[in-house]
Amino acid sequence: MPNLPFATANYLVPLDGTTHVVVAGLVATATTHKINWPAFSNDNFSFWPQGAYIDNSGSLTDLTLVVKPIDFSVMIAAGAKQIVSWPAPKNQETWLTGNGPVTIFFVNYPLLSTPAEIDGKLSVTLANGATVTIGGQPISTVAELQAYDPVGAVWANAINQLPADASPTAAGILTTAQLLAYNGATWDRVRVATPADALATLEGLATTAQLMAFNGASWDLKRTPAVFQTGKFTAAGSTALWTPTAGTFFRLMRYKIDVTADATRTTAGDLDIQFYQYDPVGLTDTALPIAETVYIGAVAGTAWSSGWVDLGNGILGTLVNNVLEINLNSALALLTGSVRVTVAGTEE
């Protein structure tokens, strides 16, 4: 029992060797009814309840029982019977509120708290098949922690041994854990081998980890580029750059755009270089929200490069088999000028 901030009178059997039952029959109301056990003890005999058999079967509402001063509280549903127990503070009072007749058998010995009815019984089946029925009294059990002795190959009661002083080392409880690895069908024990010498190489335990990235709403598996495509473009409109393997989606994760120094237009102006995806089934082009704009003069100028642009976990094609395209809003005036686009990503 935890240490309590007040004296208690808990016992299996009272000091005088006699157990007692005090019956309280009353009509509970919303007004708190108080049972003063110190006054009862003065007028009769020393009695500090440790529990009660409570019959609230005739009541219209729940019955609330509060033990003071520990403020232990229990509620018995309307129409129910219940057994409860609690720490037994000396000088305690019992406060009751409810609505209807109630009968309570207060006892000064511990009970098995249970929501079962008062007249219920506990049946235990023994190893030999016999049945023992117990009613009204608690069952005392003692739990034992056992440890395996690998020397004697037996299980024995574990002993918590304290060292004599700060120097000796006490032997703790020997425990064993097994690391298991899945072989694709069943679980196998993982074994450790000792190398023959410092030059020997052992194969370690193969493990797999998945790196996840949060997209703002859910977690996605982190990708790394494995597919690389490049192309040179001079014509206006959309031209295919990346046709994924049949049955897969392209995932654009990085790109780099270069415009040669000799690129010119008949009329100087902006050249929009935008990514599109083409649906070969619906025969539709859809712009992706990725583009670069470069000023191209009427005469050769300076080469331009976007450098590598990282799109994180990338942009996945909307439909399987969609083709990644490059769209130029105007043809270059000279064939010697061109736009080079290189992309990196995955097919999945």
DSSP 143: -
Task: Give percent helix, percent strand, percent coil of the chain, each to the nearest 5.
Answer: 0, 45, 55
Q: Measure Cα distances from 61 to 78, 256, 273 in Å.
A: 5, 76, 77
Helix (H) or strand (E) holding 55: strand 51-55
Range of the domain at 101: 21-107
Please report, rounded to a whole number, the percentage of residues in the chain having pLDDT higher than 90.
32
Specify if 46 maps to a domain: yes
Sign of the dihedral through C-alpha 42, 46, 51, 52: negative
Q: Which residues pair with 213 in a beta bridge?
A: 220
The last residue of a domain, from among 92, 107, 122: 107
Domain holding 42: CATH number? Answer: 2.60.120
- Give per-residue pLDDT as tens, 90-133: 888 999 898 889 999 988 888 775 544 334 444 545 555 555 55
Residue with more model confidence, 170 or 252 = 252
Placement of tokens 């989606």 in the chain = 249
Predicted confidence band at 140 (pLDDT cuts at 50, 70, 90)?
Answer: very low
Specify if 253 maps to a domain: yes
Placement of tokens 């029992």 in the chain = 1
The last residue of a domain, from among 107, 128, 150: 107
Global confidence as pTM: 0.44
DSSP 86: -
Residue with more model confidence, 295 or 189 = 295
Q: How far apart are CA 231 and CA 227, in angstroms?
A: 14
Phi, psi of 148 (to 5 degrees): -85, 130
Specify if 153 maps to a domain: no
